Structure 1
Amino acid sequence: MNLDYIIPNPWSIIEEGFNPDQVKASESLFSIGNGAMGQRANFEETYSGPTFQGSYIAGVYYPDKTRVGWWKNGYPEYFAKVLNAPNWIGINVLVNNEQLDLFTCKSVKKFRRELNMKEGWLSRSFIATLQNDIEVEVFTKRFLSLENDEVGAIDFNIKPLNADAVITFQPYLDSGITNEDTNWDDKFWDTLNVSHENNQAFIQAKTMKTDFYTCTFMESQVFIDGKSVLIEPNIKADANLASFSYKHQVKQNETYSIHKFGGYLVDRNHSKNDFVKVAKSVLKEATETGFTELLNNQKMAWAKIWDMSDITIDGDVKAQQGIRFNIFHLNQTYLGTDATLNIGPKGFTGEKYGGSTYWDTEAYCIPFYMATKDQSVARTLLTYRYKHLDKAIENAQKLGFKNGAALYPMVTMNGEECHNEWEITFEEIHRNGAIAFAIFNYYRYTGDYSYIPEMGLEVLIGIARFWHQRATFSTDKNKYVILGVTGPNEYENNVNNNWYTNYIAQWCINYALENIDKVKEGFEDDYNRISGKTKISHEELAQWKKVADNMYFPYSEKHNVYLQQDGFLDKELITVEDLDTSQRPINQKWSWDRILRSPYIKQADTLQGMYFFEDQFTTEELERHFDFYEPFTVHESSLSPCVHSIQAAKLDRMDQAYTFYLRTSRLDLDDYNHEVHEGLHITSMAGTWMSIVEGFGGMRVKNDTLTFEPKIPEQWEGYSFKVNFRHQILKVSVNHNETHFELEGDTDLEIRVNDKLVTISPNNMVTV
């Protein structure tokens, strides 16, 4: 059944009433992060019911040995596990020596949990009766600081309601943690040192195999009715744990509180020899600033983010809540401050998928970060791929490619392939195309060509070499074909001539050739450096051109559409509408064999190509392909509804566009795919942003000009968004009668609206 317990609210995710069956789902939905670390919304106090404990440090992983029944050349050695990190949020709470545990309490009333997206904090409140009949009222609030991304803070308050009570807070650090998922039950962490001093504790630990050194730290302060109390704690420490006990006699209706500050240091940023010294300094600053001031700083930091990235929707609270939920989690996951990090598909909300980088970053996330932040953030994401080029060449070599051909990994942490499903690892090679497209998309949007001669051209050459070698000449067709692939539709494996893969291969080769000429003419020093390094020759480029010019594309004269792959019409073409709803989702109900023989499409495939290369097809062609493929699409990928929403809006099918928008924006909030307990779909959240800006707003860059074709769903009264286009911030506000444009900047901006040129002057609203 769908989740429907989240209360509609424009700025908050709210849950009222305690239901143990919802705990795991809520732990995902209410997750918090700050780009450097994150955590599921686990309770601070003990919880003995079903729970998925998860705290994560960006960039820290473990190479879990791939578990397969067979081995082939080129198969990844390991699957990169996103690691559950040592836990610093834990606070055991004892009331007259009885453990506070919502799973065992006699009753839980007035339970309320709120994730305040506007200000960046998580709170919880409830009244509980323990087994010893003491009734307590509890209120907690916590956040992970954006201002200092190594620290987080917790405010935990408890009030006995029906008697005086001895209450003990036991804040602790615990490195004896495990992952929810592991192939071999390996030990992931090696605890090196547990130490404590005054009210501070430190656990230094390193990951097995990968040797990421970390320091987890904490310091606590306690209060009665807001006044500081000095209590000498009892201290317990063992090989993996440091725990302090603050016991106090609390009168009926008095509030006993603890402020706990904690977080992580990693050797990416500090020498491991200085960990304790640095942690003490971080804690000193946090405790001297205090919880309240830290929270005020948090509110200001989020206000700055929202000022640029917010999308407002009038008249539809669920739609408004959905888009802000997506924007909030994208900003919690990645802020562009560390060039070694990327955007993992689950962010800091779960462990599924592993790895930190998929093609999702280039295909879906870069447009969001380009438009809502400074373009340097998107450039950082492209630089990340350039730094992995040598590994991409190595990945291709393992599969038998040569001469500097590059195959970027499907999943990676450090540039090495670490995905453990052969039909994805070896065959879903279209990911190479998304990386080249992102280079094109970055230049198209920002006008910053410098990335290509500095770094991008080398990436384009490696990718073009891969496509040239991956294509096979078919004497039967007298064309070049690409055999044995998986397209974006992962419900078809090992197919021949996936149209999208062939099309993007042809485009990549042509785009590489175009930019070789451009760099040769305009950036001689860069060209000489690159040609010397890559040894490109006229003969090789002529061979690429021959492959691109003679690429085969399967086509059906009967249906007047490009075929998703050679054998698509051999399937029994029963539409989703005629599929028994009890069979959905098919990925949870059917065998893989049955799925592969079915016509059902997991996400946009042929339509993905028409989304990327919209200018190369007429609206009539898009409509024909949309009408043919969408009825077979089950949208069981989180990346599916957004592309379909954008295309439905372009085709003026606003009801359909709105339905797809709601599905993408509330995919996790309403748990469409019955898997939210495993974590959120972070990378597809950028597609939600695209659904509004590119779909309803109709934003494109054509001929170096920002263009709009604004539309509005009938369910909305109006909506607005901002984009940072070439260092000028444009606000777009749409209602049923007109569109308003406002410009922040120093110079005029010429845009095109519904195919008419419009000049926007700074601080002067223009209405169209």
Structure 2
Amino acid sequence: MLNYHAINNPELTQWSFTETKFNPLAQGKCESVMSLGNGYMGLRSATEEAYIGGTRNLFVNGTFNRFDDLEVTELPNAADVTQVELLIDGQRFSLETGSVTDYERTLNLRDAELTRSFVWRSDQGKRIRFEFKRFVSMHDLHLIGMKVQLTPLDEGITLRLASGINAQMSNSGSQHFHEGEKRIFDKKYLQLIQTTTESKVDFVMNALHSFWIDGVSAEIKPQMEIERRKMEMAYSLDLQAGQTLKMQKLIQVHTSRDADVEGAGELEKLRAHSLQALKKAEEAGYDQLFEQHRQAWASIWEKYHFEIESEDSFDLLALRFAIYHLMVMTPVHDRRMGIGAKGLSGEGYKGHSFWDTEIFILPFFIYSEPKVARTLLEYRYLGLEGARRKARENGFKGAMYPWEVAWPSDGEVTPVWGAVDIVTGKQTKIWSGFIEQHITSDIAYAVWHYYQSSGDQQFMDECGYEMIFDTATFWASRLEWDEEGSRYVINEVIGPDEYKEHVDNNAFTNYMAHFNLQLALEYYNELKTRNPELLSRLESSLNLDQASREWQEKADALYLPKPDERGIIAQDDTYLQKQIIDLAPYKSQTKVGTLFQDYSLDQVNEMQISKQADILMLFYLLENRFAPELKRANYDYYEPKTLHDSSLSFSTHSILASDFDDKKLAYQLFRRATEIDLGPHEHSSDAGIHSASLGGIWQCVVMGFAGVRMLNGELHLHPKMPDTWKRLSFPLYWKGSKLKISITEDQVEIKTDQDAEIELVIYGKKTAFTGQLQFEMIHI
């Protein structure tokens, strides 16, 4: 059970949430939502003591490995450093024995610290107070710090504490590492060296333990143990009633892909560097290291400072939760790495990046920290090699981006087989990697979105134009000629609604492909006059003269589905002819995917049921191409048929509800988005947090309630705050200028510290200002 009120620390109100009762049958929830990280690595928050059903994960971004030829590449689960085995009077400590009072496990978002405390009474009646603390440093990306403290309250105990580095780990059974080398230096420093089996990435992990009794440093002679894929130090001692033992454990994690370590590719240099880094951390000590980490997070929260005055304090907590996880999952340190669909919090989706990044997460960085947005797009630029290979393998030209991507040059890494078919009992084939192709234009859209909002011409010259041109070339080669209709069509695809496979002319796919083609033509013609030298350079490698003629021909004749007499645009050629069933039982489900307990995917494919926003996503991304009444008619038609079985869905529907001036519905959908991870469902996050949904939560607030949009290269603002909110303020970057936008019930204020004049469109009216601007809210 999670409590969202600061129980013992009022200053952490709206900054923390607490598990108040440990449930061994639902460990995944807190392991994921309370996970720690810094973009370089992510640490799942399993308890120190081990339980059946717990999942211990430590992932280092970008270290993908393929277990064998029949599996796909994934982030390998590195050795565990967090388990601590405690034997008290010869009995293994466990919360499943004895009794527990005052139990609290809290994630402090402000300081990015995990704490756990309780009083445990053994079967023999002895009471012991336990306190655990843990952080993954944002100051030193390679550092993990842990603290264990225990005090016998009534009578003395005999304690044995064992802790070390345990490489007997796997990814759901797949072992990604060779045995490796293990060594203990000076009876104190543990070092494990392992190499991934296929990608040959070296991992070097070092750890040490330090002890204090009643605040006095204690030298406790360890029993050193090394066995297969594991080494640990065991410490035994007697504690009297009232005595407090404190153990601090520091860990350094390095790999041969570290961009910040000189000579990281040379194992001997890397292992020496890592051990020296651990000794340097030891000199600083846990408290100083944590303070450096806390200050790093203080700078982050100052940069992304939001204020929400709401009748429900959960709203601001939920937004901070989203920003926290966006920080711990995003590899701002290395452009060779992307964001996994579960971040770094679990094995779900194997650490792969999807369109989630470009459509749901990237806008947060575009408007909050553009340099990070650029890094994420450079990751896609580095992926052109894999995208071009996928196009060739499928008989197309240009760049066909993978549906799932790992290391940027890997190409397509989507698994082929998925869940069970309820009718046949066989595994269902995952067709997304073959025919869910809209991601190619989604990435082109993201490049355009970033450029229009940031004005980063250097990125376009070095990366952006090439990405847009080669994705357009893919679409030109992908289109098929329909002789009967005298038009180009896109057959045999999956749109954003993955409950509809092998469809023809998915409206989202067609319109976004058309956007991609037109965008390439626009920039091609622009470069002819503005930068012919750059165009000539790109022409030599991309054959742009011939390609541009094909873009024009195909764009002019591409079929774009139009509304019927009711104003409804068909999601695909056959959607509107499919069977309609009562979805009420599934709309109220407490677990995603209950539909498939009654129907197979093939059966669902023949029903008017959508997994998530599909054509409605089109109305959000290309909103000025569609009239408001058309968007509303389609919203009213498709929303009842949408199960929101994807975490990507609620935020889009919330933003559109804001556009329709339905503030009550917009807020309800926002809350449902926030509850995907933070809600009461015990198993919603077992495989990891939902990274796209977290970006969507930010979009609900900024794009929905504040009404921020980029349209035709202009910044628009059309605030429609929920009735339960009194104030909203947030930072926003626009073309190099940082704005602070504050919205109350009656007034909007915009400030900038830049001298340049800021132009924007407020409630549809163009205006410009320098320094500060105030205007009255328009109430609906």
Compute the TM-score of the two structures, normalised by the length of structure 2. Answer: 0.92
Could you say which residue in structure 2 is the equivalent of 1:346? 342
Contact preservation (8 Å) 2:40, 2:333: no
**How many pairs align?**
745
1:272 pairs, out of 261, 267, 270, with: 267
Structure 1 residues 595-604 or 696-705, which shifts more? 696-705
Whether the 8 Å contact between 1:553 and 1:562 is mirrored in structure 2 is no
- Would the alpha carbon gap of residues 580 and 737 (structure 1) be closer, same or farther in structure 2, given more than 3 Å must change? closer
Task: Report what 2:216 is aligned to.
Answer: 227
Alignment partner, residue 332 of structure 1: 328
Deviations 1:187-211 (A, max 9, x none): 3211221011131100000111121
Is 1:359 aligned to residue 355 of structure 2? Answer: yes
Give the superposition deviation at 1:558: 3.1
In structure 1, the residue matched to 2:309 is 314
Amino acid across the alignment from 1:147: H
Contact 1:356 1:413 in 2 (8 A): yes
Seen in structure 2, the aligned counterparts of structure 1 residues 704 and 551 have a Cα distance that, compared at 3 Å, is closer
Distance 1:677 1:476 in 2: 50
Does the 8 Å CA contact 1:623/1:651 hold for their aligned counterparts? yes
CA distance in 2: counterparts of 1:351 and 1:335, whole angstroms: 17
Q: Secondary structure at the match of 1:61?
A: coil
Structure 1 SS opposite 2:26: helix
Distance 2:478 2:115 in 1: 53
Change in CA separation of 1:350 and 1:592 when aligned onto 2, cut-off 3 Å? same
Matched-pair contact (CA < 8 Å) for 1:159–1:256: yes
Q: Structure 1 residue 141: deviation in Å?
A: 0.9
Quote the residue 2:577 is aligned against.
Answer: 570
CA contact (8 A) 1:59 1:413 kept: yes
In the TM superposition, residue 741 of structure 1 has moved relative to its aligned partner by 1.9
CA apart distance, 1:174: 0.8
What corresponds to 2:421 in structure 1?
A: none
- Deviates most, 434-443 or 696-705: 696-705
Q: Quote how far apart the aligned CAs of 1:238 are.
A: 2.1
Match of 2:151 among 156, 159, 176: 159
Residue type matched to 1:196 in 2?
I
1:530 maps to what in 2?
Answer: 538
Q: Structure 2 stretches of 5 or more lacking a match?
A: 7-12, 259-263, 417-429
Deviation at 1:459, TM superposition (A): 1.6
Distance (Å, rounded) in 1 between the aligned partners of 2:587 and 2:18? 34
Letter in 2 for 1:152: I
What letter corresponds to residue 390 of structure 1 in structure 2?
E
AA partner of residue 394 (structure 1): R
The equivalent position to 1:190 in structure 2, one of 162, 178, 181, is 178
* 2:130 pairs with 1:138: yes
CA spacing shift, 1:30–1:4, aligned 2, 3 Å = closer
Counterpart residue number, 1:89 = 82
Structure 1 residue identity aligned to 2:287: T
Deviation, 1:229, is: 1.1
Unaligned runs of 5+ in 1: 68-77
Q: Which residue of 2 aligns with 1:694?
A: 703
| Equivalent in the alignment of 1:75 | none
Q: Distance in 2 between matches of 1:743 and 1:435?
A: 30
On the 8 A contact 1:88/1:217 being kept in 2, the answer is no
Which letter does structure 1 place at the counterpart of 2:163? P
Instruction: Give the counterpart letter for 1:223 in structure 2.
Output: W
- Using a 3 Å threshold, how does the CA distance of structure 1 residues 418 and 733 change in structure 2: closer, same or farther? same
- 3-state SS, counterpart of residue 146 of structure 2: strand
Residue in structure 2 matched with residue 70 of structure 1 by the alignment: none
| Greater mean deviation of Cα atoms: 306-315 or 471-480 | 306-315
Shift of 1:135: 1.9
Structure 1 residues 480 and 334: CA distance shift in structure 2, 3 A: same
CA distance in 1, matches of 2:595, 2:252: 38
- Alpha-carbon distance, 1:335 to partner: 4.7
Helix, strand or coil at the partner of 1:153: strand
C-alpha distance in 2, partners of 1:527/1:131? 77
**Which amino acid letter does the alignment assign opposite residue 679 of structure 1?**
G
Q: What residue in structure 2 maps to residue 41 of structure 1? A: 45
- The residue that corresponds to 1:393 in the other structure is 388
CA distance in 2, matches of 1:123, 1:563: 51
Matched, 1:252 2:241: yes
How far apart are residue 581 of structure 1 and its match? 4.4
Q: How far is 1:591 from its partner?
A: 1.9
The residue aligned with 2:66 is: 63
Q: Does 1:685 align with 2:702?
A: no
Question: Are the aligned partners of 2:384 and 2:467 in contact in 1 as well (CA < 8 Å)?
Answer: yes
Look up the equivalent residue of 1:166 and give its one-letter code: T
How far residue 721 of structure 1 moved from its aligned partner, in angstroms, is 1.3
Cα separation, 1, equivalents of 2:683 and 2:718? 35
Range 578-587 or range 5-14, more displaced: 578-587
- Tell me which residue corresponds to 2:445: 437
- Residue pairs, 1:706-745, within 5 angstroms: 706-745=715-754
Deviation at 1:618, TM superposition (A): 1.9
Root-mean-square deviation (Å): 2.0
**Aligned residue type for 2:486:** N
Partner of 1:71: none
Give the alignment's TM-score, normalised by structure 1. 0.93
CA separation of 1:226/1:744 partners in 2, compared to 1, >3 Å: closer, same or farther? farther
2:72 to 79, 86, 95: 79
**1:356: Cα distance to partner?**
2.8
Equivalent runs, 1:433-472 vs 2, <5 Å: 433-472=441-480
Shift of 1:757: 4.2
Instruction: Determine if contact 2:758/2:770 at 8 Å carries over to the other structure.
Output: yes
Deviation of residue 580 (structure 1)?
A: 7.5
Deviations 1:302-350 (A, max 9, x none): 1111112233221221212211111110101115121111110111111
For 1:104-183, list aligned pairs within 5 A. Answer: 105-179=97-171, 181=172
| Structure 1 residues 673 and 16, CA gap change in structure 2 (3 angstroms) | closer
Cα shift at 1:745: 3.1
Tell me what 2:10 maps to: none
Are the aligned partners of 1:173 and 1:203 in contact in 2 as well (CA < 8 Å)?
yes
Alignment equivalent of 1:206, drawn from 187, 195, 200: 195
Query: Is the contact between residue 43 and residue 57 of structure 2 (CA under 8 Å) also seen in structure 1?
Result: yes
| Residue 579 of structure 1: how far off its partner (Å) | 6.0
DSSP-derived class of the 2:525 partner:
helix
Identity, % of aligned positions:
27
Structure 1 counterpart of 2:424? none
Deviating more after overlay: 359-368 vs 302-311: 302-311
2:388 partner letter: I
Contact 1:344 1:683 in 2 (8 A): no
Give the 3-state SS of the residue equivalent to 1:21 in structure 2: coil
Q: Is the 8 A contact 1:355 1:418 kept in 2?
A: no
- Pair 1:767–1:155, CA change in 2 (3 A): farther
Equivalent AA in structure 1 for residue 765 of structure 2: K
Show the 5 A alignment for 1:575-586: 576-577=583-584, 581=588, 585-586=593-594
The amino acid of 1:279's aligned partner reads S
Pair 1:725–1:555, CA change in 2 (3 A): closer
